[in-house]
Amino acid sequence: MPEEAFRAARQGALWMRAVPIIATSLLLVACGGPVGGPEQQLRQWIADAEAAAEEKDRRKLLSLVSEHYIDARGNDIDEIDRMLRFYFLRQQTVNLATVVDDIVVSGETAADIRVTIGSMGLDQSSIGFDADAYKFHFELENNGDEWLLMGARWARLGDELR
């Protein structure tokens, strides 16, 4: 019996020494730069964009867009800002359901992301709510520090991307 008590005490002492090491390791990982490879960073970019949209945080959303943004419709970052401003003013609430359809990374500095986004929110229409689903194709570039949106195409679900 004394041997079992000694073994249990020893395991407890080892565990107590391991806890600070584990906690410090988790803290270093959490405070460090981007964790994981490019795909994980891009999934985090998507999650950050979704959270910012649901919070109606235009500044946060625009921080994810390159100042050199241009899309096939001729929109630049200023026009994206105007679209977001109009949408957020119309919507009292924004709720999104995002499905990542595909992520393709090219050389760790460029990426194409295809997502389907369902949106629903309370608005000021006579019905009182708005719901829709869109397909997006995002083109991103890693500038060394972060992934930024360089261009996008989108359409209502079932329509051709433009």
- Name the residue with higher pLDDT: 115 or 25: 115
Closest CA to 112 of 159, 153, 59: 153
Return the pLDDT at 33. Answer: 44
Residue 13 pLDDT exceeds 60:
no
**Cα 55 → chain centroid:** 13
- Half-sphere exposure in the Cβ direction for 159 (13 Å, CA): 11
Query: In which band, very low, low, confident or very high, does the pLDDT at 46 lie, cut at 50, 70 and 90?
Result: very high
CATH for 37-156 is 3.10.450.50
- Across-strand partners of 65? 149
Summarised one tens digit per residue, pLDDT across range 80-99 is 999 999 999 988 899 999 99
Return the pLDDT at 2. Answer: 54
**Cα 67 → chain centroid:** 19
Residue 125 pLDDT exceeds 70:
no
Helix (H, G, I), strand (E, B) or coil at 34: coil
